[in-house]
Amino acid sequence: MPVTPLVRAFVSHFGEMGSRWGINRTVGQIYALIYVSPRALNADEIAETLEFSRSNVSMGLKELQAWKLVRLRHFSGDRREYFEAPGDAWEVFRTLAEERRRREIEPTLSMLRSALMEEAGNEEDLHAQARMRDMHALIEQLTNWFDDIQRLDSATLSKLMGMGATVHKLLDFTDKFKRAKR
């Protein structure tokens, strides 16, 4: 399975970025290859194209499935498993955000919550808890908002984004409206 220079460039960029995104090089490349491929690929094709060991590809695919970035397909008359990347970019963004939240944010939130339950017995701890409270409040606010936003359908979301900062005019407006009512 040779691959065009254009695809090669895309794939290797994802490999290089992988580490910054918290996935490893091979996983990044596997995803990139599946993402641009016009049809679903099986593990052997991927291994051959990227010149990775078959087992490495197997592990990479497992991880991509855990991230829900890749979906399994079967074709009749062929018992191998084929993989493809969901097409709706918004959907991908949503699952990515959700997974990251679960892995990178939830654990910290729960640690903070339990630290804030502790009885502080001295100046130091009181100050530390105050700081933790700030951090907790910020994270909660951000993630709750994110949840709300994510629940919107793609069309509404898109509209919202299209508005950009003009949202703030809208806010001024509703403020005035509420005040006028009183």
Partner DNA sequence: CTCAATTTTCAGAAATTACTGAAAATAGTG
Partner DNA sequence: CACTATTTTCAGTAATTTCTGAAAATTGAG
* Beta carbons of 18 and 6 less than 8 angstroms apart: no
Positive or negative torsion for Cα 19, 25, 30, 32: positive
Would you say 61 or 69 has its CB closer to DNA?
A: 61
Binders of a second copy: how many residues, by CB under 8 A?
61
Region 35-64 residues binding DNA, contact defined as CB under 7 A: 42-44, 51-56, 58-59, 61-62
Q: How far is the CB of 163 from a second copy (least distance, A)?
A: 8
165: Cα separation from own chain's centroid: 24
Q: What is d(CA 60, CA 110) in angstroms, rounded to the nearest whole number?
A: 29
Considering only residues 79, 178, 179, 182, which one is a binding residue for DNA as defined by CB under 7 A?
Answer: 79
The enclosing H or E element of 64 equals helix 54-66
Local structure of 147: helix, strand or coil = helix
Q: Assign residue 43 a region (left: φ > 0; alpha: ψ between -120 and 50; beta: otherwise).
A: alpha
Binding residues (CB under 8 A) for a second copy: these are: 4, 6-7, 9-10, 13, 17, 20-22, 35-38, 87, 89-90, 92-93, 103-104, 107-108, 111, 115, 118, 120, 122-125, 127-129, 131-132, 134-135, 137-138, 141-142, 144-145, 148-149, 151-152, 156, 158-161, 163-165, 167-168, 170-171, 174
